[in-house]
Amino acid sequence: MSCDGLFHIPSPWLEESWRLSLDMSENERRLVSTLARPNAIPPLGPSDTDASAPSASGHGPQMAKLGRRRRAAKSTSTPPKNQHFYFVDQNSSSKEKRAHVMRHHVQEKRKQRKISRWTSPTEQIPGYTTHVVKNEAGIIEKTRLESPPTSAQDSHNGENSLKIRFSNLKSQPHTSALPHIGSPVTMLDASRRDPFASLPIEYDSLDIELADYWRNKLTYWSGQNLYVKNQIFRTAMGSPLSFKAVVLSYCARWKAQLYGLSDSTEIQRHVGQAAKLIDDAMSGSVLVRADDLAMALGGMALHEGRFGSKQLAHVYVDRAVQVMRPRTGTNRPVEVFIHYVRYLMMPEGPEISLTEQQWLLTFLHGAEDLMRQHSSPEYLLHAPHRLKAFEMECPLFSLLSSGPRPSQVPYESRIYVVRDAHTQEVTRTAALIYITAALWDFQESPNKTDRFLHFLCTVATQHHLDRDPACETLLWLLLEEGHDSDLQDPERGWSTGELLKAHKRLRPDLQFQFNEILMSFLTFQTPLRGVTAFEEELRYSAPRSQ
């Protein structure tokens, strides 16, 4: 029979043939609709066995070997949900009809895949992988959170380097239901990088909350100062004593004052335990490393000075100095923390002495002589950053100059600002003294002067201090001395602390005048009231202060 006779096959049979062809799996032979004589075609309807029969002739391009045909649908009145019918041209050959149907079939599958990608929520979340798990009830989808790639972890800088660590989580086996993933962190910390898998103490949910205050909540008026907080946090993790005395005790007292309380069970627990361990270490009954003891003493001094007894705070900081002063230069992170706490402490006792007055005057006269030397064209030729570093467009100018300093802290987060802590002005004064003292040390070497100031400008930009001026972070970076070794001097931090202590004993107007003189010298400007006027005011106030 010629192929022309194929086109007299009833239309319903053709539709059923194309539908059955589309139901074949991809593992079967490619889609083929084998057509035979009308009288050789089995009747439509359900069949118990798959029918197959050889063709009458092995010749002719349209006549192919009969393949297996799947069982017809039991009911033709309601077609299956996902079946598609394609209309073909009756005048086309069988090959063209098959190609036409296949094209539409492939296009429809592509559309379905695109729609599934657009609507799948897990595919829109980076780091998620979807697994299909079969069970007796059918097919369910299970998602699991994969660890981020190494390249993404390494991209964080020093101030965002506290990693998520879920080392105590065990992998869950594939089950027929979504597993419950246990975690030591609460929902409060679920979205944050969390260090609790490596804390040096046994902790509970309340401890996690306190540590979360330190890491993500507490802020100065100038901003979060994340680098400073992270460095203190990381150093305090060196021992259970230092972590309890520095982080947990401080945050327990801060939390109590936030709610107007003078005491709480958390204060009694952490402050009490830390104080007892320190007393045992000082008496020799418990062995504690000197660095950890100094760190703990500094932490106790910090929160006692802000939330407790200022007299007891001075006792703690004096003990910390006794431990660390003979060990100057042996442990820079601990030493920087002790300096930082000392600088923030307000002095007790009598007003400024004659000796302290002389220190301040000698320092100002030295800064004035230094300005004259640095302003020479020959010196600036070899140290160009001496002129550039303190220009108005440079970050050091906005950090060190006086004036109103609007807060970068969002309004809703200002409840976390540490109250009555005038850290900006104190750290600004300390930075002015430290930089001037360093330039005095480098006065015979324009190269050292230039490298030191270039380092300061670079590190200020790296820590975004050009956009978010924070003198606290600048002072911390100065004390860390991350520049070349020939520019370092561990004694500079101690001498800066002594001058700063004398400066705090001045009247507020003289404190402001002292700072303006130093800033004028750094910017090569003539101060409105120079060293002579400052000295006269200081001498005039001396009899009343003795």
23 against 524, higher pLDDT: 524
- Is the pLDDT confidence value at 229 over 90? yes
Mean pLDDT of 383-404: 92
Largest CA distance in the chain: 131
Residue 49 lies inside a defined structural domain of this protein: no
Does 51 have pLDDT greater than 80? no
Decide which of 374 and 544 is more confident. 374
Average pLDDT, rounded, for the chain:
76
pLDDT at 347: 87
User: Do residues 177 and 238 share a domain?
Assistant: no
Cβ–Cβ < 8 Å for 236, 295 = yes
pTM strictly above 0.85:
no
Higher pLDDT, 377 or 156: 377
228 assigned to some structural domain: yes
Residue 127, pLDDT > 80, answer no
Q: Would 57 be classed as within a structural domain? A: no
Instruction: For residues 158-173, give the mean pLDDT.
Output: 36
Domain check: are 382 and 309 in the same one? no
- Mean pLDDT for the stretch of residues 351-375: 94
Of 74-83, 150-159, 309-318, 409-418, the range with the lowest mean pLDDT is: 150-159
Q: Check residue 316 and give its pLDDT.
A: 97
Q: Check whether residue 224 and residue 134 sit in a common domain.
A: no
Provide mean pLDDT across the span 137-143. Answer: 36
What value does the mean pLDDT take over residues 399-413?
85
- Confirm whether 56 is domain-assigned: no
Q: Is the pLDDT of residue 188 over 80?
A: no
Does the pLDDT at position 74 exceed 60? Answer: no
pLDDT higher for 205 or 423? 423
* Judgement on whether residues 27 and 110 belong to the same structural domain of the protein: yes
Inter-residue contact 70 to 24 (CB < 8 Å): yes
Average pLDDT over residues 240-265: 93
Lowest mean pLDDT among 321-325, 331-335, 419-423: 419-423
Determine the 3-state secondary structure of 300 from DSSP: helix
Summarised one tens digit per residue, pLDDT across range 413-441 is 888 888 777 899 999 999 999 999 999 99
What are 457-486's pLDDT values in tens digits? Answer: 999 999 999 988 999 999 999 999 999 999
Considering the domain architecture, whether residues 417 and 516 belong to the same structural domain is answered as yes
User: Mean pLDDT over residues 35-63, rounded?
Assistant: 43
Percent of the chain at pLDDT exceeding 70: 66
How high is the pLDDT of residue 540? 83
* 265 pLDDT higher than 70: yes
Of 93-107, 320-334, 385-399, 502-516, the least confident: 93-107
In this model, does residue 39 exceed pLDDT 50?
A: no
Of the three residues 283, 313, 344, the one that is the final residue of a domain is: 344
Range with the poorest average pLDDT among 57-61, 180-184, 210-214: 180-184
Note whether 125 and 93 are same-domain residues.
no
| Residue 273 located in a structural domain | yes
pLDDT tier, 105 (very low <50, low <70, confident <90, very high otherwise): confident
Average pLDDT over residues 66-93: 53
SS3 89: coil
Residues 77 and 168 in one domain: no
- Separation of CA 335 from chain center: 25
Report which listed range, 52-56, 69-73, 189-193, 338-342, is most confident.
338-342
**Do residues 304 and 212 both lie within one domain?**
yes
16 and 136, same domain (yes or no): no
**249-252: long-range contacts at Cβ-Cβ below 8 A with a sequence spacing of 24 or more?**
249/274, 249/299, 249/300, 249/303, 250/214, 250/299, 250/302, 250/303, 251/210, 251/211, 251/213, 251/214, 251/218, 252/210
Q: What is the mean pLDDT of residues 330-335?
A: 95
Number of domains in the chain: 4
- Are residues 421 and 385 part of one domain? yes
d(CA 180, CA 189): 17
Considering 316, 344, 372, which residue would you say is the last residue of a domain? 344
Task: Report the pLDDT averaged over residues 232-253.
Answer: 95
CA distance 384 to 452: 12
Residue 167 counted as domain residue: yes
Domain housing 250 = 199-344
- For residue 101, name the pLDDT band (cuts at 50, 70, 90): confident
SS3 call for 391: coil
Question: Are residues 335 and 483 both part of a single domain?
Answer: no
Identify the band that residue 511 occupies on the pLDDT scale cut at 50, 70 and 90.
very high
Among candidate residues 290, 316, 344, the one where a domain is terminated: 344
CB 505 within 8 A of CB 311: no
Residue 104 and residue 375: Cα distance in Å, rounded? 82
Residue 14 pLDDT more than 80?
Answer: no
Average pLDDT over residues 36-52: 43
Domain match, 307 and 440 both: no
- Whether 31 has a pLDDT exceeding 70, the answer reads no
Give domain status of residue 381, yes or no.
yes
pLDDT band, residue 85 (cuts 50/70/90): low
Output the pLDDT for position 198: 60
pLDDT digits (tens, 9 = 90+) for 512-534: 999 999 999 999 999 989 999 99
- 50 domain-assigned: no
Helix, strand, coil fractions of the chain, as percent rounded to 5: 55, 5, 40
Q: Report the pLDDT value the prediction gives residue 84, as an integer from 0 to 100.
A: 54
- What does the alpha-carbon distance between residue 312 and residue 301 come to, in Å, rounded to a whole number? 7
Calpha distance 452→279 (Å, rounded) = 42
